[in-house]
Amino acid sequence: MTSPQPHITVIGAGIIGMATAAFLQRAGHQVTVVDRLPPGEGCSFGNAGGIAFGEIMPTIHPKIFTKIPGWLLDPLGPLTIRWRYLPKALPWFLAAARNTTSKRIAAITAARAALGLRAVADFETLLKAAGSHDLMVYRETLRVFDSKAQFEAEAEERRVKAEHGFSCEVFSGDEAREMEPALSPHISHGAFHGGWFFVKNPERVVKSLAAEFLRQGGKIIQDDVARIEVVDGKAKILQLKTGAPISLDRLVVCAGAYSHLLAKQLGDHALLEAERGYHIVLPNSGVSVSRSITYARTPGAATPMEMGLRLAGTDEFAGLDAAPNYKRADALYKVFKQIFPNLNEPDEQATRWMGRRPGTPDSLPVIGPSPRISNVWYGFGHGHMGLTWGPTTGRLLAEMISGKPQNIDMTAFRIDRF
């Protein structure tokens, strides 16, 4: 007789955690998911909706470092650090700087490209099973530029993407406006990203995966994790804030920006920062766009969703618990007003949100086993790419835990690289 599959407990009910739970379940495991919030109501709730499998360049690279000083002078700019938090964030930024050598950029880019290879297929596997395949829109995101110089400044990035199989079709300003008439007459160039679809409602994506997971016999517990008890090199008990303790066979930590705190309990170290992003949703935007739009002047995306036009972006380093500054959400309206002249001002139906992206200094997630605790695996640190890489992370973790080979080299994603 074959022994029963071990039970798996997953901490985290965002896109990473639910995708991991779904693929583990498909592999025959009984799975329990634990999160203090309902599925899809953390960072997964408010992202820009991008399935950005062609975004293979690291988030922080030498050209970005040249822009950071100017950005920091604007408290509502694309990047801000609350000065009281700077001493805590400094080790992360120093590590990020060490990852901007040409050798490291090439290695990081290759690792990100490998994650993107099956991103869409892995997403489709889960969405089709959940009956929500219609949530994905197979329309390439358009990047727009103010000038020829701005367009040519990204030529090297387009070349690198093409080398990895992500070709970026380019357009004149008039051709871009033919695709999206709402664009301003001053837009001089456009380009596809080489692979960037979008979903119409990221929260509903995660909730649909959770609903299918429950239909197939999975269990979701809404509670906060108090601590993980380790005995003889194994995680044995998950103590919850209010509920009964959970006895552990195997544990997967997919707790987003809080993951490093749980890893620390287990003796593992990860450099992780909450890259706080904002969005504003305009139900009455006054413009019609058929695809996600990014603007070369500043990081962010405008995406047409079920609830309205979502303008999302910015990076704020202020820690996990600082109060949101929703002026940063309103600043996104001012940015996109520059490329959508007829964009209506936010009215009483507009909504604003802040979420904590779990970012690593090398722009790569942590995916794989704990080197210290034999029955623990990690899946976190996806930064701006959580929605894109979530299903692939879930598949890879399920393969690891089930003892199956992976289709890519997982060395770059080890937690002990920091």
Full-model pTM: 0.95
**Location of each CATH 3.50.50.60 domain in the chain:** 8-45+204-271+363-417
pLDDT at res. 77: 74
pLDDT tens track, the chain, 418 positions: 455 778 999 999 999 999 999 999 999 999 999 999 999 999 999 999 999 999 999 987 776 666 666 666 666 777 888 889 989 999 999 999 999 999 999 999 999 999 999 999 999 999 999 999 999 999 999 999 999 999 999 999 999 999 999 999 999 999 999 999 999 999 999 999 999 999 999 999 999 999 999 999 999 999 999 999 999 999 999 999 999 999 999 999 999 999 999 999 999 999 999 999 999 999 999 999 999 999 999 889 999 999 999 999 999 999 999 999 999 999 999 999 999 999 999 999 999 999 999 999 999 999 999 999 999 999 999 999 999 999 999 999 999 999 999 999 999 999 999 9
Distances (CA, A) of 79 to 50, 110, 278, 314: 20, 26, 11, 6
Contact 364, 413 (CB under 8 A): yes
Contact 40, 282 (CB under 8 A): no
For domain 8-45+204-271+363-417, the CATH superfamily is FAD/NAD(P)-binding domain (3.50.50.60)
DSSP conformation class of 8: E
Q: Please state, in angstroms and rounded to a whole number, the distance separating the CA atoms of residues 73 and 222.
A: 41
Distances (CA, A) of 17 to 9, 195, 255: 10, 24, 7
Amino acid symbol at 311: L
Burial code (b: 16+ CB inside 10 Å, e: under 16) for 334-371 equals ebbeebbeebbebeeebebbbbbbbbbbbbbbbbbbbe
**Location of each CATH 3.30.9.10 domain in the chain:** 56-101+137-197+275-359
Amino acid symbol at 343: L
Backbone angles phi, psi at 372, to 5 degrees: -110, -35
Backbone angles phi, psi at 34, to 5 degrees: -125, 130
For domain 56-101+137-197+275-359, the CATH superfamily is D-Amino Acid Oxidase, subunit A, domain 2 (3.30.9.10)
Which residue bears the tokens 């985290």?
12
pLDDT at res. 1: 44
- Strand partners of residue 145: 189
- CA torsion 396-363-275-146 (nearest 10°) is -120
3-class DSSP state of 392: helix
- Residue 195 CB neighbours (<10 A): 23
Q: Please state, in angstroms and rounded to a whole number, the distance separating the CA atoms of residues 292 and 306.
A: 13
- Residue 254 CB neighbours (<10 A): 33
